[in-house]
Structure 1
């Protein structure tokens, strides 16, 4: 009789619908596929206290550097898919890396659930530069093709692609000099090795009175630089930068994917978080999981891939 009751209870249990998985399941590991100290790390640290205030659970930032992010992204789908692991993603990296060769993952392998900010591209010059405006720089570039030099944070980066696209739009030929990272590009610009830098709005915040921004690649002016025009204001349809977001392992349930997306959206909507980001020179954006993300990723691929081909970064 007892065995019959147990068997009946087991059958009832099996017939019940599975309970929706709660998020977070406990402590969450937030993996940055780069070393500490970069902008991916900085913004993750900004998100930490807001996550913990929402859930009274820890968001533990860890690092898995290598291959410009490829080491971490190639391992993402082997990680726990219960919401206990999330990973930072960067564009144009996850679009262009698989186009350049075998990096252990394809763009479609990455399950992005939210894009929460970007570092807008900007043309930056030293304060003693003869270029007071973007028109000044364009005029000089037209007068002396390829003679106006820009530093930038490497080949195939957001800076590099912006330089290619802007030259096409402005019908000029400038020379882009790739340095190993933003810090080296800033040093080259301030040291007079180049005439200007294809940098980010964060360079303006970090360098203060040492630099002047000629234009920012945003839809609207950045609150930290209210006097600096956007490229669009000046007639160039350039809205670009280094985009960052969150991905989960491919096997994460639909509920987990949406829960993580909703969480990052809530943090992005917090006025205190927004102020921290804007004060740091970042720009907020909100691309949530689902059809919105799919359409956005396709649009970015259509934007980045032709520019990367023109730059000779991919075939």
Structure 2
């Protein structure tokens, strides 16, 4: 009987040792598991641009993506997803669950769409702001054959030819649409709006003379200005641009306080862990301030900004308050 008791106690002791050993082994693995879970990004990041290729949005996104790819340890690639004034891409990214999809936020999608659409397939709460990336001044340009060299001449020409002059934009509610309507309100001049599906196709018709004028982000249009294919008659910036020192601002031409800049920022789906947001924001600030990025953006008259998620959230709120008044007065509606 005693020997049976001894054997039972020994068996229990062996099981206890095995359990303890297993626990120690599992404990030694946990730091590795935690490390693997926190190792973000774990694969390539898709940076969605909700517009067609060829505009300022792509220039800003690609410049940022190149620098982020150097510091995040994974490639960041740009994926253009145009349509429905950016709402198709915004809706898709809002539902993304892979934690490796982000999107380019823009004055059109964030400060205009909430006020021109009766119902959006996404909401601002579906996203977390990451960082403001860049601001790009709008340039007011005309077809090279239009007989005007400044805003005064454009206004006079439009009044002599009522209903005959047109301006193109990347679409209803786009930054270019907003910029020209803002100018029309300030100058009390009428020009017909012709919306396109992106800056690229609109620019094709502007160069061909099928539309007379446009307001376009500096990054996308400066090469065409320098080549003489279009004529820049005013800049929407607060000061003259170093790239176009002879072109006066809108404010200089009789409209004090007038300023129109497009802006671009980064957003992530709301399910993105805050730790990932903070890491992405920190690396994004480095990316837009990197010498190569600064060189690319400055060359296209874009101003690199950067900033925290909190600062970008405050900026979006201020821009919404600013532009909803212009949208209501101009009665801007979606396509």
- Aligned residue runs from structure 1 range 22-33, under 5 A: 22-33=39-50
Within the candidate set 96, 109, 113, 1:79 is matched to 96
1:177 maps to 193
On the 8 A contact 1:34/1:65 being kept in 2, the answer is yes
1:126 maps to 143
CA RMSD of aligned residues (A): 3.3
2:321 maps to 302
Question: Shift of residue 59 of structure 1?
Answer: 1.6
Q: CA, structure 1 residues 34+149, in 2 after alignment: closer, same or farther (shift >3 Å)?
A: closer
SS in 1 for 2:138: strand
For each residue in 1:94-133, what CA deviation from the matched residue of structure 2 results, as whole angstroms up to 9, or x when unmatched?
A: 3333430333101332222122124422211234443222
2:6 maps to none
Question: Shift of residue 145 of structure 1?
Answer: 6.1
TM-score normalised by length of structure 1: 0.82
Of residues 30-39 and 138-147 in structure 1, the stretch that sits farther from structure 2 once superposed is 138-147
2:10 maps to none
Q: Is the counterpart of residue 259 in structure 1 residue 284 in structure 2? A: no
On the 8 A contact 1:164/1:310 being kept in 2, the answer is no
Distance 1:223 1:252 in 2: 40
Q: Is the counterpart of residue 53 in structure 1 residue 77 in structure 2? A: no
Q: Is the counterpart of residue 237 in structure 1 residue 252 in structure 2? A: no
Relative to total residues, which structure has the larger helix share, 1 or 2? 2
1:270 maps to 290
Distance 2:229 2:322 in 1: 32
Q: CA, structure 1 residues 69+192, in 2 after alignment: closer, same or farther (shift >3 Å)?
A: closer
1:21 maps to 38
For each residue in 1:231-265, what CA deviation from the matched residue of structure 2 results, as whole angstroms up to 9, or x when unmatched?
A: 23444433324422211121222221121112221
Q: CA, structure 1 residues 290+214, in 2 after alignment: closer, same or farther (shift >3 Å)?
A: same
On the 8 A contact 2:83/2:89 being kept in 1, the answer is yes
Of residues 259-268 and 88-97 in structure 1, the stretch that sits farther from structure 2 once superposed is 88-97
Distance 1:9 1:217 in 2: 65
Distance 2:292 2:193 in 1: 38
SS in 1 for 2:214: strand
Within the candidate set 183, 191, 199, 1:166 is matched to 183
Of residues 54-63 and 115-124 in structure 1, the stretch that sits farther from structure 2 once superposed is 54-63
Distance 1:77 1:132 in 2: 45
Distance 2:53 2:140 in 1: 26
Q: Is the counterpart of residue 212 in structure 1 residue 231 in structure 2? A: yes
On the 8 A contact 1:221/1:228 being kept in 2, the answer is yes
For each residue in 1:282-304, what CA deviation from the matched residue of structure 2 results, as whole angstroms up to 9, or x when unmatched?
A: 51242523331122111211222
On the 8 A contact 1:122/1:216 being kept in 2, the answer is yes
* Unpaired runs of at least 5, structure 1: none
Distance 1:186 1:25 in 2: 39
2:132 maps to 115
Distance 2:105 2:276 in 1: 17
* Unpaired runs of at least 5, structure 2: 1-15
Question: Shift of residue 229 of structure 1?
Answer: 2.2
SS in 2 for 1:209: coil
